[in-house]
A and B are shown apart, each in its own frame.
Chain A
Amino acid sequence: MRMLKFLLWKELIQIYRDPSIIMILFIMPMIQLLILPLAADYEIKNINLGVVDHDHTEYSRKLVNKVVSSGYFRLKDYSPTFQQGLKAIESDKTDLILEIPPHFERDLVKENQASLFVAVDAVNGVKAGLGGAYIQRIIQGDNQDIRTQWMPEQRLNPQPVIEVTTADWYNPNMNYRVFMVPGILVMLVTMIGSSFASNNIVREKEMGTIEQINVSPIKKMQFILGKLIPFWMLALVVLTVGLLIARFVYGIVPLGHYITIYIFATIYLLAILGLGLLLSTYAQTQQQSMLVSFFVTMIFNLLSGLYTPIESMPAWAQMITRFNPVSYFIEVMRMVMLKGSGLADIKYQILALVGFAVFFNSWAILNYRKRSG
């Protein structure tokens, strides 16, 4: 254990002297947490709207007004013909055309029904899908208004209408920040765990100092602990910085206990650091370890449920996410933060992470050899 003390002491001095560590500890979490949640949310705003109005009546203008005043659309083009409207889409001026046919008002008033045409530029799938849905909802709302206005009370609802009311539990305002910030925090901690630890060991290989360690009586276990502990601490510091930012910048206070988050993070980091360690036993140069850990963390992050819900992935991808430690942490973070889950609620995730930790670390220890064959 005395040797471990010296290993840790040396590692901490090196970390302290490395200017990039300060960057990683403070600048990276700040940038990620201050910029990403504000910029990268799922709400689609500022959809550029093109209108082709063949009707030119009070009703058609009212409808356009209603769409624009929803806040999701910006009226960018007002063309007399559909062809010209399409040109605006082609030149990227607009994302969506709302075509109001001639006699829109007349049909509506006289025949009680009228049709509208919406054409969407589907190059950006998300924007198109959501934009189309928004405009439909707005028009439907408008429809209701007209019905109430025009039809006598008793004739209202000639056919039964099922209205769906939704209640958003646990995140009542559907605040994306509450949803994204814990996830981004997980990503940060994961990056530090997997790539920085592995890079550190590979650097010792490149410098030749690892040979000096291998020729000393230091035990494998001590060496690995000497690398695990400092980065484990570092990652917990970043987590703390992140949680402080979440609390004081976004006002995100977990419903559960911070201690639950830390207990889970501790186990999670053992797993992720084990993975980093494993990578380092295979890589010979820092480029190799960087590339591989970049690749692995990218897959992990994209399949983690941070950006896209796991439930909507194909079955085979859902299977993969079960082998992705990141997805468990994101799940747990959201559970603890938003639902106030305690240790008993996340025991399955804890168990899974203990499994990952044992698996990666034993593999790493087996594969780290003080003597070459």
Chain B
Amino acid sequence: MMETEKVISAKELTKRFGAFTAVDKITFDVQKGEIFGFIGANGAGKTTAMRMLCGLSLPTSGLATVAGFDVYKQNEQIKKHIGYMSQKFSLYEDLTIRENIRFYAGIYGLDEEQIKEKTAKLLRQLRMEGQDKTLVRALPLGWKQKLAFSIAIVHDPAIVFLDEPTGGVDPITRREFWSLIYEASARGITIFVTTHYMDEAEYCNRVSIMVDGRIDALDTPANLMKQYAATSMDGVFLQLARKAVRTGD
């Protein structure tokens, strides 16, 4: 069965900055095709954990493989098979929508034919067909984020890492964003997403909750709600987050 294929596997993965342990021995697996939620308060270590998996940050100790590659030695291999959308908005503001698509598709090795095809498909999907010559600078935030996500998966990666992709946008745009995520997931792309919106946590297949750099709970949203006798993910999160000693940033 496809479901049992692990695309991310972390074992006691740790990151220390001096005396501060940002990520403390986290162990988890992500199955292929899953939407895996990474939940936690600000400063819980979500972004650091994600950056280690993407090959942007060197782990202090522990083991991890992403798409079958080792995070220590094969980090450049990993990069060919993942997409990444950072918290900090990362399209080129002085390029148009079309140029951004072309640039990112190009650096992931797509040829001109594929770029053309992808661009048309992507513009249609985002309903931005008439606007392909608009500079990204001029787009509303919600549009930018949807575009950034579509560009992050333009090369059909095995996994896409999303770091708080919906921060600061309205509920309607968030819904639209999530429908893009479902669509990508349906195409077989594994989604690894951090968020602190609890309603979004409920959209995930499985959720891990990070507190002070540790994973304190990891299960499907339904099971977590049962386990913590809560009616929503909000209730689960509050019970766990209360134990936190670290304060958010």
The yes or no answer to A90 lying at the interface (CB within 8 A) is: no
Query: In angstroms, how far is the closest chain B Cβ from the Cβ of A278?
Result: 22
Determine if A371 and B86 form an interchain contact, defined as CB atoms under 8 angstroms apart.
no
Determine if B88 and A13 form an interchain contact, defined as CB atoms under 8 angstroms apart.
no
Determine if A371 and B95 form an interchain contact, defined as CB atoms under 8 angstroms apart.
no
Which single member of A14, A18, A211, A219 contacts B90 (CB below 8 Å)? A211
Determine if A373 and B106 form an interchain contact, defined as CB atoms under 8 angstroms apart.
no
A215-B79 CB under 8 A given contacts A208-B86, A208-B89: yes
Complex contacts, B55 vs chain A, CB 8 Å: 215, 370-371
* Nearest B-chain residue to A18, judged by Cβ: B94
In the assembly, what is the distance between CA of A343 and CA of B194, in Å? 60
Determine if A209 and B106 form an interchain contact, defined as CB atoms under 8 angstroms apart.
no
Determine if B106 and A212 form an interchain contact, defined as CB atoms under 8 angstroms apart.
no
The yes or no answer to A214 lying at the interface (CB within 8 A) is: yes
Stretch at the interface among A2-10, A325-333, A355-363: A2-10
Determine if A211 and B86 form an interchain contact, defined as CB atoms under 8 angstroms apart.
yes
Name the interface residues of A143-190: CB closer than 8 Å to any CB of B. Answer: none
A212-B99 CB under 8 A given contacts A3-B106, A218-B107: no
* Nearest A-chain residue to B91, judged by Cβ: A209
How many residues of chain A have a CB within 8 Å of chain B? 27
Determine if B95 and A216 form an interchain contact, defined as CB atoms under 8 angstroms apart.
no
Which single member of A2, A209, A212 contacts B109 (CB below 8 Å)? A2
Complex contacts, B76 vs chain A, CB 8 Å: 217, 219, 370
Determine if A17 and B86 form an interchain contact, defined as CB atoms under 8 angstroms apart.
no
Complex contacts, A211 vs chain B, CB 8 Å: 56, 84, 86, 88, 90
Fill in one digit per residue for A193-213: 1 if any B CB lies within 8 Å of its CB, else 0.
Answer: 000000000000001110111
The yes or no answer to B92 lying at the interface (CB within 8 A) is: yes
* Nearest B-chain residue to A208, judged by Cβ: B88
Report the number of A-B residue pairs with Cβ-Cβ less than 8 Å: 78
Fill in one digit per residue for A340-373: 1 if any B CB lies within 8 Å of its CB, else 0.
Answer: 0000000000000000000000000000001111
Name the interface residues of B40-96: CB closer than 8 Å to any CB of A. Answer: 54-58, 75-76, 79-80, 82, 84, 86, 88-95
Which single member of B54, B94, B108 contacts A217 (CB below 8 Å)? B108
Say which size band chain B's interface belongs to.
20 to 34
Complex contacts, B58 vs chain A, CB 8 Å: 371-373
Determine if B90 and A216 form an interchain contact, defined as CB atoms under 8 angstroms apart.
no
* Nearest B-chain residue to A17, judged by Cβ: B94
The yes or no answer to B182 lying at the interface (CB within 8 A) is: no
Complex contacts, B92 vs chain A, CB 8 Å: 10, 14, 207, 209
Query: In angstroms, how far is the closest chain B Cβ from the Cβ of A227?
Result: 14
Query: In angstroms, how far is the closest chain B Cβ from the Cβ of A53?
Result: 70
Which single member of B57, B94, B99 contacts A371 (CB below 8 Å)? B57
Which of A6, A208, A212, A370 has the largest number of chain B CB atoms within 10 A?
A: A212
A209-B90 CB under 8 A given contacts A217-B76, A371-B75: yes
A371-B56 CB under 8 A given contacts A17-B94, A208-B86, A211-B90: yes
Query: In angstroms, how far is the closest chain A Cβ from the Cβ of B216?
Result: 27
Determine if A6 and B107 form an interchain contact, defined as CB atoms under 8 angstroms apart.
yes
Determine if A3 and B86 form an interchain contact, defined as CB atoms under 8 angstroms apart.
no
Determine if B103 and A207 form an interchain contact, defined as CB atoms under 8 angstroms apart.
no
Enumerate 16 A-B pairs (CB-CB under 8 Å) in ascending A order: A2-B109, A3-B106, A5-B106, A6-B107, A7-B107, A14-B94, A18-B94, A207-B92, A208-B89, A209-B90, A209-B92, A216-B104, A217-B76, A370-B76, A371-B58, A373-B58
Binding site for B on A (CB under 8 A): 2-3, 5-7, 9-10, 13-14, 17-18, 207-209, 211-219, 370-373
Question: A10-B103, A212-B104, A215-B56 given. 5 additional CB < 8 A pairs?
Answer: A6-B106, A14-B94, A18-B94, A207-B90, A215-B84
